[in-house]
Amino acid sequence: MEQIHTIGRRKASIARIYLRQGSGNITVNGKDYKDYFTQKHIQANLVMPFDTVSADNVYDIKINVTGGGFKGQSEAIRMAISRALVELNEDFRKPLKDQKFLRRDARVVERKKYGKPKARKSFQFSKR
């Protein structure tokens, strides 16, 4: 097996991953994923696809992620890992799809409108 390259997106985050046979090392932007994502529930997002298909400590992953916050980045990475696993073995599609890891969450921040301080918030209105 050579290297598999996939992309995942969430909010303003874009994650590019490179998956290859290995011992289970996950690096995010040159750091170990536990150093990059310090919160446990966000670290869990990265390993969820492996737990779903029971493929722990089999693949090394190099991740480049940009944009957004930690939660959006971790969900973008989760999607990219899921896509790579499906590309690796088509039998993984059903369990990953049941967990909704292959679905792109298209919700993004609404743009600010002119004449308003935020997208929908208005300035205080005074009749007199």
> What would the pLDDT profile of 67-121 be if each residue is shown by its tens digit?
999 999 999 999 999 999 999 999 999 999 999 999 999 999 999 999 999 999 9
CB 78 within 8 A of CB 103: no
pLDDT digits (tens, 9 = 90+) for 3-45: 999 999 999 999 999 999 999 899 999 999 999 999 999 999 9
Q: Cα 23 from chain centroid? A: 21
